[in-house]
Structure 1
Amino acid sequence: MNVTRRRRKPVAEINVVPYIDVMLVLLIIFMVTAPLVTQGVKVDLPQANAEPLDDESKSPIVASIDEQGQYFVSTGEHNGDEAMSAQDVAVIVAAQLQIDPETPVVVKADRRIPYNNVIELMVLLQRAGAPSVGLMTEPKQ
């Protein structure tokens, strides 16, 4: 009996199915963890000693909180003398940013109020359309 066997050619292919499985698992992990990492309020903090705004720069929108937790807004049109609700602050800031989106926005808060009130105001300003929010301080003596 004469048996002829076929010679097999070597296969030079890479099986990519395990790599696709690993990539899908990594994709799911990153999709789940990404929202957890990016929570918070965006704040522009100075990296060195704070310097005052230039005289040539635009007049900023100043959102203030007093000791009792009342809100005030000072813009070019409003002088910030009367207390207002959070919704009124959002409307005024949104209207001013619609007119001039490059207007800087700063928060001026009393040192005795809880930190949570400052964060709530910053979130309110962010939702009103402020791209970044600065914190106003008194110079050291």
Structure 2
Amino acid sequence: MRRDIVHIALMAGGALWLAGCGMADIRSPVPEFMRAKAPEPAPLEAPPDVRRMLSEKLDSVFTSASHPEHVRVSEPRHNLRGPGWTACVRAELTSVIGKPLGTQTYRITIADGVVSDRRQIEADDTCVTESYEPI
């Protein structure tokens, strides 16, 4: 009986010890040949034609009630926070009650050829230093 318990304990300890060998990820402190291979980064998609996208579908960024005029866009940049692209868009806008809002700038996120997000920029945003082209 005592012998069986010792065998079971040794088998369980050996199984745990061997199981630890297969769990070395790319950041483990083990020799290089024992680490898992780092995954290949996803290939970058081609930069979108932001000018064409916005000329065809301007309501993806601005509401029709804002009457956007003098719309200008920056060159698309690869999104550092994930897949896709970002660009900056500027336009002269009008409020819902007809009062001019002046020039407003937005950062748009483009994923799979579609504008997926738009946010008004803040004072320290890089859109302030971008160069813009009319659409």
Same fold (TM over 0.5): no
TM-score normalised by L of structure 1: 0.27
More strand by share: 2
Higher relative contact order (CA 8 A, sep 6+): 1
